[in-house]
Structure 1
Amino acid sequence: MTDAPRHEEWDSFSRDLARAWIDHRCLPVPAHGPTSIADAYQLQEAILTHLKEPIGAWKAGVDPEGAVWGSPLPCTALKTARSHWSTPARIVRGLEVELAFRLSPQVLEEEKLLPEETFFREGILEMACAIEVVSSRFLDWPHIPEFWKLADLQNHGALFLGESAPYDPDFPYLTPRVSLLVEGHEQAKFPASNPAGDPRALLQPFLRQCRDRGLPIEPHHWITTGSYSGVYFLKDSGHIQATLEGLAPLTVLLLSSP
């Protein structure tokens, strides 16, 4: 991964990944590819262009070094509670219980970063329990370069959103009570924690990144913010229920297709 790819190859990479997204296929990792967060973000945007889908939501988290990064999510990947999703059993399907937020219109229009305590008090409009499906369009995942993971929509498969609730600044963001039931069996880690600590701290830096990319977050967009439960890899079909500290529970059915 030392030689920069030619423009034609770059376009081919993103086109192939978009096709793999649609067909639920996995590809070999190319010999060279993104070597920076900016390269990976360019590939994300090219994938969405080839999918011909608007942005439906966002995924934010921390990289292995602790910096903020994320991805836009195609609108067809955004699901609601009590829905079902079917993919081939060969595809990676990791389940994570996460907290998703919708930002206030005022903070979306604000060009300067607010003091953190002001943002935590005024910058968030709604919150919801979410199930993030971790997946990949690459063979040998997760043993692939980190920037390819980021380029591949940050390992995204689908996002299930529960019923929204008004933002609560007193929610226990560091250690909420979390449950991830798979066919009635608890799979969440204990105690719950988020890689970012307080996931709200991701939101303003990520908002700034999106503005710098020319991809502003819209008032109707939700942002999911990393796993509280740890990841559970589903091998077959299953009924899944997620709960997160008093928010409305989220129930989905994940099916394995041939």
Structure 2
Amino acid sequence: MLDADSHAVLQTLLRARHQHAGAELTGLVAPADGEQIAAIQDALSAELGWAPRSTATVWKAGAISDGSPVCIPLPETAVRTQNGSYRRGLLPRVGVETEICFRLGRDVSAAEAAAMDDAAVLAAFDALCVSIELVDSRWRIGMDAPEAFKLADHQSHGGLVIGDWVANSAHDWQAIALRVTAGEHGIVAQRGGHPCSRPTWVLPYWLRHVATQAGVARKGCMVTTGSWCGMQWVEPDASGVTVAVSFEGVGSTRVRLYR
């Protein structure tokens, strides 16, 4: 249940979305703990008509600044396939995060998830794809907002662009080459770089979290697993700019961004 401070944060986030204007933090008290943050996320999802946490099929997982893992349900309506388009939200720029997304290949009960080792967890995912998370914020100060406020705002989620699914297989994640371009300009070219050395590190935590919430993690659920190269900021003009991401041996995806 939301306490009074968290209810005020919820109402502020709803106004920001409905009025399409960045919200001020003045007078707001940060959510007290992870339970209140999740309650704000759930209430926001209910108000906006998104799937509740117990039936959500799209998730983001990763670590916040102190290294703690987090799992956040996302709206299915925010998912775009490659070559789609996205218009800038409340921030003056579009944040781009380069990620790998995994898809669960079968139902996994809470009891089974609790007993699985990391290898068994990874084997439960049948496919993966290159993905781009688009970052937006409902707070006027954007990414300078304190962590708890960003988490309440679904960790500043704006949209998720997914590439073609390919069969899940082993990769040398620490040596894999990736490239990010915006229009004609290369903005990232590196090998490896995931902050936790591999994107699969968070999958056991995510699977147990989701299975516990609903009693079972459902086949077809997808989860994106954290940015490889931090936040890349893109400032599209009225004619738009195409952001493309590729991972050697895995695939690619792209999205057209507009002002």
User: Structure 1-normalised TM-score?
Assistant: 0.87
Superposed counterparts of 1:7-156, under 5 Å = 7=4, 10-21=6-17, 23-29=19-25, 30-54=27-51, 55-88=56-89, 90-107=91-108, 110-120=112-122, 122-156=123-157
Q: Does 1:157 pair with 2:153?
A: no
Q: 1:11 and 1:218, CA in 2 relative to 1: closer, same or farther beyond 3 A?
A: farther
C-alpha displacement of 1:61: 0.4
Partner of 1:254, secondary structure, is strand
Equivalent residue for 1:254? 257
Counterpart CA distance in 1 for 2:198 and 2:243 is 25
C-alpha displacement of 1:56: 4.7
Q: 1:216 and 1:148, CA in 2 relative to 1: closer, same or farther beyond 3 A?
A: farther
- Specify every segment of 5 or more residues in structure 1 that has no aligned partner in the other structure, as ranges: none
The 8 Å contact of residues 37 and 152 in structure 2, kept in 1 or not, is answered as yes
The 8 Å contact of residues 56 and 78 in structure 1, kept in 2 or not, is answered as no
C-alpha displacement of 1:216: 5.5
Q: 1:216 and 1:48, CA in 2 relative to 1: closer, same or farther beyond 3 A?
A: farther
1:46-88 C-alpha deviation (Å, 9 max, x unpaired): 1111111223510000122212102111111111111111125
Name which of structure 1's ranges 103-112 and 129-138 shifts more when overlaid on structure 2: 103-112
Equivalent residue for 1:235? 235
The code of the aligned residue for 1:127 comes to L
Identical positions, percent:
23
The 8 Å contact of residues 56 and 76 in structure 1, kept in 2 or not, is answered as no
Name which of structure 1's ranges 9-18 and 127-136 shifts more when overlaid on structure 2: 9-18
The code of the aligned residue for 1:117 comes to A
The code of the aligned residue for 2:30 comes to G
- Specify every segment of 5 or more residues in structure 2 that has no aligned partner in the other structure, as ranges: none
The code of the aligned residue for 2:258 comes to L
The code of the aligned residue for 1:114 comes to M
Runs of 4+ in structure 1 deviating by more than 6 angstroms, as ranges, are: none
Counterpart CA distance in 2 for 1:133 and 1:33 is 24
Q: 1:88 and 1:155, CA in 2 relative to 1: closer, same or farther beyond 3 A?
A: closer
C-alpha displacement of 1:91: 4.0
The 8 Å contact of residues 106 and 220 in structure 2, kept in 1 or not, is answered as no
The 8 Å contact of residues 133 and 157 in structure 1, kept in 2 or not, is answered as yes
Partner of 1:18, secondary structure, is helix
Kindly report the root-mean-square deviation, in angstroms, between the aligned alpha carbons of the 2 structures: 2.4
The code of the aligned residue for 1:194 comes to H
C-alpha displacement of 1:192: 3.3
- What count of residue pairs does the alignment treat as equivalent? 250
